Every structure is written in structure tokens, then in C-alpha cells.
Structure 1
Amino acid sequence: MVASGGPAEAASDGQARDSFRVVDRRGRQRFLASSTKPPVIHSGRTYPAEQRQGPEGTYLIFNDGDGNEKGGIVAASTTSSISLDYANAQAITIAALWQGTRGAAGMRIHGMPDPSLPIEQVPRTPDRIQLLHTTHEGTFLALNDSQGRPRIRLAIDGDDNPSIEVLNAQGQVVSRLPS
């Protein structure tokens, strides 16, 4: 792999650069470090940065051998995240956010869409598993059905009270421990 030219190249003249891009011998991007929200590269197409989820911040983007984005790391002033991707959508997101003395950290595992769909046709993928801790509300684990609806929730609230809830498809609690 070689570093690409232009503004992505490490500067030998002492000039600051906004990004650093590594491409393979075929010219395909394999890694990008950028101080601004970069475009998305997938299936030989480049999508504008405005279509990328996430805040303005520092981005480290990982691409497969075909140049398709497969995950990344984002660091912003009040949040940071790591994501790993399916063929055409996010698969796992791990994130932390904070403001003053309050914060949260969590992980979302998303359902996998039809991998043959181009990314502009991929419907919103539901969260299948959500794990969350907040400094003021406690810790939660939700196991969701194929529509993204919580069906089992495990929780320890901000006062350290544990609970387990089983929900029906309409979100109504059908069983709870402690009762």
C-alpha cells in the first residue's frame, strides 16, 4: 500500500493536512484519517459527506479490498464511536457520549438487510440488541424482534433496582420480575 498524493499525503514541507489516505496498488482507498466528515465510498460510488451519519469530528475509515467502507472510528467533542459494517449497512455500533457530569455508553447490533441492495435502497435496519448505561438512569439490555420492537428488557435502574420484563409486539409488559 502507498499513501496517496494531494492533500491526503503526509507533508514533507511542514504544511498541515486535513486528511491522510492510504490506497492500494489499484488506487482503491483502504484507510482514511480525516479531520472532517468524509464521503462514503461503496460499490465504486462516492456518496457526499452530508449523507454520512454522525457528527463533525475526526474520522478513521476502514475499507475492504474493493474499496468499500467496512467500518470506522469517530471522535467528536462530546461523543465517540466505533462501527463495523455489513456489505451495505452498519452492523455494530459502540458509542459513548457525555455532557458535563452526565454521560452514556452503549452498543447496538443492527439487523442485516438484503446484501444485494445498493446502499441508497437499504431500508432502516432495526436494532436487534441494545446495551446501554447512563450515569443517571442505570443500565439496560433490550433484545428486540425483527421489527426492532423490544421484547425482553433487563434493567438496573439508577437506584440499583433490577428488573426483567417480557413484552408483547405492542410493547405491553406481559411478565415482570420482580412482580
Structure 2
Amino acid sequence: MDAIINEYKKHGVDGFYKLHSQDYENPHKSNIENLLTEAKTEWNINGNILDLCCGSGEVSNMFSECSVEGIDPYTKGLYEKNTGNSCIPMTFKDIVQNGIGKRYDFVICSYAMHLCEKSMLPMLLYRIGEVSNNLVIITPHKKPDCNGNFFREIKRMKKERTSIVWYRSNMVN
């Protein structure tokens, strides 16, 4: 398989996951695990966790002692098989239109938030802020920058080209 970004360009995100929904594995798994291991301890990430865009469960499997649920419109079956946790098959658009509903101590989104359409991002952040005071984003980019009306950056770590950023909600909930 070519680099994921090239596969997205070739097939589109939907097309890529139609082809790879049962065999997807994040090629950045070791970077994610290294950063998340450090952040989990230093930032005291625990409790009820939503793994947003959960893929095959790399993030969720690091929180086996917590209550974890996934959201992913493409890899529901693979995620549930790999983690034993339930997965809600929602897209960013579904979340924006309908909300998430359940409360979480942390929402963690790994290598996916940058795929949200820029025009949809503020409402997505609002919807996340409705259900959690804490958003952790793992990304190979400087985007998205979630500082603004709904969230503010609390802490950040970076290893190699991957960043993990903790945002706290500005919303009263």
C-alpha cells in the first residue's frame, strides 16, 4: 500500500476505507503509542474515553483499564474485533448534525481531525464540547488548531513529526 495520504488522494477517504476497512493499520502506530504513553501518565488521561475516528483500535487498546468506546464510520467491525469495545459508525457530518449524546471524560482523536472539512470544524468542536471538557488530538500536522471559542490548548508534546495536544473546553457543561 502507498502512503495513506496518497491513497486518500487516489481513492478519496471513503473509497480508501471501502477497500481497507478490514485490514487497516495505522502506519504511525509506534509514534502514537510513544506519545500517548507519556501523555497518559503526565496528563492523567483516564475515566470514560471516546476514541474518535478509532480506526483499528490503536488508541483504545492503550486504555484497557478505562471505559472506552469508539466512533468510526469505516472500521467498526475491525475496531470491535481488535478491542472488544463497541463502535458507533458516525462520520464528522453525522456528529455535526446529530451530536454524540453520551458524556466522556476525554475525547481522543488520532490522525484524523485534520481530515474534517474546515467549514465543518467549528461545529464539530462545539459538538465535542457538549460531551467532554477534554479533547486530545494526535496529529502529524499543525492543524487543526482547535484554539478558539470552544477549546483552548492546555499542553502539547511532540516527538519526531507527531504532536499530541490537550485542549480544554471553554464551554460551560
TM-score range relative to shorter protein = under 0.3
Q: TM-score, normalised by structure 1?
A: 0.23
Higher relative contact order (CA 8 A, sep 6+): 2
Structure with higher helix content: 2
Q: TM-score, normalised by structure 2?
A: 0.24
| Structure label with greater radius of gyration | 1
Structure with higher strand content: 1
